[in-house]
Amino acid sequence: MKLTKKGHACIRLEKDGQVLVIDPGGFSEEDAAVGADAVLITHEHMDHFKEDRLRAALEANPAAEIWTLRSVADQLTAAFPGRVHTVGHGDAFTAAGFEIEAHGELHAVIHPDIPRITNVGYVVDGSLFHPGDALTVPDRPVETLMLPVHAPWSKVGEIIDYVREVKPRRAIDIHDILLTDIGRPIYDMMLGPNGPGVGGAEHSRLIPGESVTL
């Protein structure tokens, strides 16, 4: 499986000639989802869900479909009839040849005054987990954790403990566009061997457009 980092929280997965894209939002490239056979959306915030990114993908591939939670699906069904599937915690399905499991129900707490919205993470082929905007621990081991390394709702101590609890073989940063070039090395240090560390997981980050084979 080939993983390509797209902007911010968006990733592109390729296997056996098929393409799966997760969370092509407003901070990812305009064509982030173009070429996808399937798209997964974790929740409704604009940095994870932007309708024009989805429209570009579905117009480019008339067979492409979307899987997401109800709050997002309700916004898309009229625009893309028959091509939007609603999923939630505990569901398992196949999308573009990838085996998907849905884990989690709620977005992380931003502030007590802000109501929590729904959020679902996705385990792909039993090996990669994209949690969206939550520190959900899947009830199964995963080799690769897409790590929301920086957000208004998190602090670095929580991120360190999250990786330790999930215990992946590797953690690759997502949700990082708000970090400056000056700030990134601080997170790299804290999550690596020169800081508290993350319990033996290999920590890395990719620049948008960079790929790795898992």
Cβ contact 137:166 at 8 Å = yes
Average pLDDT over residues 187-195: 88
Q: What is the pLDDT at residue 213?
A: 96
The pLDDT value given to residue 36: 98
Q: pTM (2 decimals)? A: 0.95
pLDDT, tens only, 45-103 = 999 999 999 999 999 999 999 999 999 999 999 989 999 999 999 999 999 999 999 99
Q: Is the pLDDT of residue 193 over 90?
A: no
Domains and CATH numbers, the chain: 2-213 (3.60.15.10)
pLDDT greater than 90 at residue 9: yes
Locate all alpha helices (DSSP H) within the chain, ordered by sequence: 51-60, 70-76, 156-166, 184-191
User: Angle at Cα 32 formed by Cα 203 and Cα 114, nearest 5°?
Assistant: 70
pLDDT of residue 192: 87
Read off the pLDDT of residues 145-186 as tens digits, 9 standing for 90 and up.
Answer: 999 999 999 999 999 999 999 999 999 999 999 998 888 888
Q: What is the mean pLDDT of the chain?
A: 95
Q: Helix or strand or coil: residue 156?
A: helix
